[in-house]
Amino acid sequence: MNEILMIARKELLSVVRERRVLFTTLILPILIMPLLMFGPILLFGSAARQTQESVQKVGVVGVPAAVLEQLRKARVEPVEIAKPQEAVQNREVEAALVFEKDKYTLYGRLSGGATQSALVVEKVQGALRAYKDQLVAERLRARGIGTEVLEPFRLETKDASREQERAAGLFAFLIPYFLVLFIQMGGMPVAVDATAGEKEKGTLEALLAAPVPLIQILLGKGLAVFVMSLLSTLAALTGLLLGGAVFRNLFAAQLRAVQDGENPAQLGGALALDPLGYLSMLLTGVLFALLIIAIMISLGLYARSFKEAQSYMSPLMLVMIIPILFLQFSDFLKLQDWYFTLPFINVVLALDALVKGSATALQLVITWLSTLLFAGMALYLAYRNFQREDVVFRN
Amino acid sequence: MLTLKPTQTQLAIEVSELKKVFRKRDGLRAPLKEEWALKGVSFQVREGETYGLLGPNGSGKSTLIRILSTLLTADGGTVRMLGYRLPEDEARLRRKMGRVSVDAAFYKKLSPRENLLYAAQLYGLEPRQAEKRAMQILEQLGLESRRFSDPIEEMSRGMQQKISIARALLINPPLLLLDEPTTGLDPKSRRDVQAFLEDLRAREGTTILLTTHDMAEAERLAHRIGFLAHGRLVAEGTAEELKRLAGTPDLEEAFIALTGEELDEEAGGL
Ligand SMILES: Nc1ncnc2c1ncn2[C@@H]1O[C@H](COP(=O)(O)OP(=O)(O)OP(=O)(O)O)[C@@H](O)[C@H]1O
Ligand SMILES: [Mg+2]
């Protein structure tokens, strides 16, 4: 036990002395999390608002004067053009409107997500809708009918998601991702240093020749990686929660504008779980950390050098992207309980469910047990690697 | 070939027919290649004796030292040290052996003091006592005490090598395994280290197994010398005996004559 703590202490000391590592694992997450979460929405939000407010050119062909009037009201500038489709393609205009007989055709660059053109198309659609409503109202009035026939009932949509889900907001699916990412990224420098790094420096031989059982060496190193993982994840969470609060206050006006004056909390980045929820998240994170640490130590021991170890571990982060992609569409597939036995995927699913407050006890227990099993297997593999001289003395 | 029959006192090291093979693949689908680094090496070292192993690059010296220090397991033969057997008594033996290797490997971010204390704790030494002993050894080796707390990465190779020796001696081991302990040191540092080793064995009666490329060092320190070539011990004896055997005036020529290309491998084997 004493040896385990001593080895862990030494590994941490080596890494802590490197300011670069300290910065990337502890300071950077605090700084970068709020930027990652709120940066895009602020940037995109204000860009979108500008598009709303400024006036863009829209090509028109054969559009009647009344509609042109409506377009100007919707803050676009109609310009006569000859070839609408090409003009839009070449970005001479953001959109083009063509009127033939009784049909309007609207051109815009609509592929590729949130284009500026798409926003202008919305403006033009709005203008046309307003014009249509105006025409309908006029005709009804001409026949002596009130406009209320157009609206036989009212429709209101209300958000019925759980309180937790609402707090996590738009970014709910990102929270598990960042948790998993920082558990891994935070541990990686120590994992590399304690395995391939010792190999490269040549210190591993002295360590293995010492009268300390291999299992204690392994556990000592694992403990050091675990501590760094945990610190890094806590740093990321601090960044997320603290940064979220700061951002909401500093940019309250902008955020409100982006969301049409709704409560800024909607943007998310706040966790609102009950104590049991937080505990469950912690347990899930810790079990996942055990698994990923054992895998990283195995890989690091197998690698011949620092560089090799890094190139083995980096793809691991890409692997973690797969369950995240899965998660984005998790709402569309019916979650089967056995999904929670799949390594990596189960952790992400469970964290996501916890953030949204929808996790069932069965799902959590399955996740914990299977992750514990995988972690045990990975730990055994790491131990075997430590024992095998063709792994430790590979060249 | 020459052998001195070990007569008086006990044997500290008994190695017989030691074999080691490395298997590796060049490509993923390439066949497994076998390389015998040790092809049956036998020798004995008496308690308190210093035994020098001389051999060209790749002759298997480091492999032999690694097996004795329990890092590698042999593929044949037997090893007995201080009355213990390898690999059965590995755990007990580890406490009785100090090892210095040519690469003087340290945790670069830690100071000599921290490095030495870490090593001491791995061997279960009491930190305070270990520190006192470490300081003493480092001063004997000519390292200024004010540098004990600087990071190792700021120190020269020679200083690092001295610290590495201090580390091996912390546990005051009855058996020292030294793999090229003075390679890469300047003449002054080399002499410091050699003088220290002479002093140590005079004081403590430490048994030393030493590999080196330096003939003068072997002549100065080793009671007996073994020539290792291609994984075989091709000759053994005192420096004088080896020179006589090869019919050459100095050890270096004896070494070339006995281990060189002209040497018939099979005829030279044990
Ligand atoms: N881990 C290993 N894997 C594969 N082959 C190895 C390994 N270690 C050593 N060898 C091979 O075993 C042989 C002996 O190597 P060893 O390092 O023992 O030589 P040496 O006498 O110490 O050489 P040097 O004087 O250069 O230090 C060499 O051919 C080497 O290529
Ligand atoms: Mg060597």
Average of pLDDT values for B237-260? 86
Say how many Å lie between the CA of residue B61 and the centre of ligand 2.
6
Confidence tier at A338 by pLDDT (50, 70, 90): confident
* B174 preceded by a cis bond (ω within 30 of 0): no
Asked if the model's pLDDT at residue A12 lies above 70, the reply is: yes
Q: What pLDDT shows up at residue A98?
A: 92
Q: What pLDDT shows up at residue A289?
A: 93
Q: Which chain A residues have a beta carbon less than 8 Å from that of B66?
A: 205, 393
Asked if the model's pLDDT at residue A324 lies above 80, the reply is: no
Does the CB of A151 have a partner CB in chain B at under 8 Å? no
Q: What pLDDT shows up at residue B172?
A: 85
Share of chain A above pLDDT 70, in %: 89
Q: What pLDDT shows up at residue A330?
A: 67
Confidence tier at A272 by pLDDT (50, 70, 90): low
Query: Phi, psi at residue A150, to the nearest 5°?
Result: -70, -20
8 Å CB contact of B70 and A17: no
Residues 58-117 of B with CB under 8 A from A: 66, 69-73, 91, 94-95, 97, 99, 101, 103, 105-110, 114
B258 closest CA partner among B247, A130, B82, B249: B247
**Secondary structure (3-state) at A381:** helix
**Secondary structure (3-state) at A259:** coil
Q: Are residues A333 and A369 in the same domain?
A: yes
Q: Ligand 1, from B25, B63, B210, B227: best to mutate by most atoms within 8 Å of Cβ?
A: B63
Does the CB of A17 have a partner CB in chain B at under 8 Å? yes
According to CATH, the superfamily of the domain at B10-96+214-270 is: P-loop containing nucleotide triphosphate hydrolases (3.40.50.300)
What separation in angstroms does the CA of B245 have from each of B251, B258, B269?
11, 9, 15
> Could you tell me which residues come within 8 angstroms of residue A46 by beta carbon, excluding any fewer than 6 positions away?
A254, A257, A258
Confidence tier at A225 by pLDDT (50, 70, 90): very high
Q: What integer best gives the mean pLDDT of chain B?
A: 85
Among the ranges A144-153, A155-164, A176-185, B233-242, which has the highest mean pLDDT value? B233-242
List alpha helices for B76-184, DSSP H. Answer: 90-94, 112-122, 127-140, 157-169
Q: What is the pLDDT of residues A26-48, one digit of tens each?
A: 888 888 877 776 776 677 667 77
Q: What pLDDT shows up at residue A266?
A: 47
Q: Which chain A residues have a beta carbon less than 8 Å from that of B87?
A: none
Which of A53-62, A251-260, B171-180 shows the lowest per-residue confidence on average (mean pLDDT)?
A: A251-260
8 Å CB contact of B72 and A389: yes
Asked if the model's pLDDT at residue A265 lies above 50, the reply is: no
Q: Are residues A190 and A91 in the same domain?
A: no
Q: What pLDDT shows up at residue B42?
A: 94
Give CA–CA dist B90/B111, Å, rounded: 30
Q: Are residues A19 and A105 in the same domain?
A: no
pLDDT greater at residue A272 or residue A49: A49
Find the CB nearest B101 among A3, A201, A205.
A205
In a domain, A144, yes or no: yes
Q: What is the pLDDT of residues B188-226, one digit of tens each?
A: 888 888 988 998 899 989 999 999 988 899 999 999 999
Give CA–CA dist B147/B164, Å, rounded: 15
Q: Which residues pair with B168 in a beta bridge?
A: none
Q: What is the pLDDT of residues B46-79, one digit of tens each?
A: 999 999 999 988 899 999 999 999 999 999 999 9
8 Å CB contact of A211 and B124: yes
Q: What pLDDT shows up at residue A271?
A: 63
Asked if the model's pLDDT at residue A49 lies above 70, the reply is: yes
Q: What pLDDT shows up at residue B141?
A: 76
Q: Are residues A146 and A166 in the same domain?
A: no
Neighbours of A339 (CB within 10 A): 19
Beta strands across the sheet bearing B175-179: B97-100, B175-179, B207-212, B50-54, B224-229, B232-237
Q: What is the pLDDT of residues B118-164, one digit of tens each?
A: 998 898 888 888 888 888 888 877 777 777 788 888 888 778 888 88
Which of A300-314, A318-332, B212-226, B233-247 shows the lowest per-residue confidence on average (mean pLDDT)?
A: A318-332
* Protein residue with least CA distance to atom 25, ligand 1: B57
Asked if the model's pLDDT at residue A108 lies above 60, the reply is: yes
Give CA–CA dist B67/B76, Å, rounded: 11
Which of A28-42, A93-107, B10-24 shows the lowest per-residue confidence on average (mean pLDDT)?
A: A28-42
DSSP annotation of B138 reads H
Whether B37 is in the pocket of ligand 1, judged by its Cβ within 6 Å, is yes
Q: Are residues A138 and A280 in the same domain?
A: no
Structure tokens given for B121 = 């704790």
Whether B55 is in the pocket of ligand 1, judged by its Cβ within 6 Å, is yes
8 Å CB contact of A209 and B101: no
Q: What pLDDT shows up at residue A166?
A: 67
Instruction: Report the chain A residue with the minimal C-alpha distance to residue B67.
Output: A209
Share of chain B above pLDDT 70, in %: 93
Q: Report which residue type is found at B203.
A: R
Long-range contacts of A257-263 (CB under 8 A, 24+ apart): A257/A45, A257/A46, A257/A49, A258/A41, A258/A42, A258/A45, A258/A46, A258/A48, A258/A49
Angle between helices B157-169 and B127-140 (to 10 degrees): 130
Per the structure, the count of domains in chain A is 2
Find the CB nearest A203 among B71, B106, B114.
B106
8 Å CB contact of A209 and B71: yes
Confidence tier at A363 by pLDDT (50, 70, 90): very high
Pairing between strand A76-80 and A56-61? Answer: parallel
Asked if the model's pLDDT at residue A239 lies above 60, the reply is: yes
Residues with CB under 5 A from ligand 2 (ion): B 62
In a domain, A45, yes or no: no
Q: What pLDDT shows up at residue B228?
A: 92
Q: Are residues A215 and A253 in the same domain?
A: yes
Q: What pLDDT shows up at residue B269?
A: 39
Give CA–CA dist B253/B219, Å, rounded: 13
Q: Are residues A188 and A334 in the same domain?
A: yes
Instruction: Report the chain B residue with the minimal C-alpha distance to residue A393.
Output: B72
Give CA–CA dist B209/B79, Å, rounded: 14
Q: What pLDDT shows up at residue B1?
A: 41
Whether B46 is in the pocket of ligand 1, judged by its Cβ within 6 Å, is no
Q: Are residues A343 and A203 in the same domain?
A: yes
Residue appearing with tokens 């090598």 = B161
* Protein residue with least CA distance to atom 5, ligand 1: B22
Whether B194 is in the pocket of ligand 1, judged by its Cβ within 6 Å, is no
Across B185-219, b (16+ Cβ under 10 Å) vs e yields beeebbebbbebbeebbeeeebbbbbbbbbbebbb
Q: Are residues A195 and A273 in the same domain?
A: yes
Neighbours of B113 (CB within 10 A): 19
**Domain definitions of chain B by residue range:** 10-96+214-270
Q: Are residues A168 and A264 in the same domain?
A: yes
Which of A18-27, A129-138, A156-165, B41-50 shows the lowest per-residue confidence on average (mean pLDDT)?
A: A156-165
Ligand nearest to the CA of B67: 1
Structure tokens given for B40 = 């049956």
Q: Are residues A167 and A288 in the same domain?
A: yes
Q: What pLDDT shows up at residue A242?
A: 79
Instruction: Report the chain B residue with the minimal C-alpha distance to residue A193.
Output: B107
Find the CB nearest B103 among A13, A202, A207.
A202
Query: Phi, psi at residue B95, to the nearest 5°?
Result: -75, -15
Q: What pLDDT shows up at residue A33?
A: 76
CATH number at residue A91: 3.40.190
Whether B231 is in the pocket of ligand 1, judged by its Cβ within 6 Å, is no
Asked if the model's pLDDT at residue B270 lies above 50, the reply is: no
Asked if residue A355 lies in contact with residue A166, where contact means CB atoms within 8 angstroms, the answer is: no
In a domain, A157, yes or no: no
8 Å CB contact of A209 and B124: no
Whether B101 is in the pocket of ligand 1, judged by its Cβ within 6 Å, is no
Query: Phi, psi at residue B55, to the nearest 5°?
Result: -170, 150
Residues 159-218 of A with CB under 8 A from B: 201-203, 205-213
Asked if residue A224 lies in contact with residue A5, where contact means CB atoms within 8 angstroms, the answer is: no
Picking from B35, B62, B121 by the largest number of A CB atoms within 10 A of its own CB, the best residue to mutate is B121
Q: Which domain holds residue A297?
A: 2-40+162-392
Confidence tier at A114 by pLDDT (50, 70, 90): low
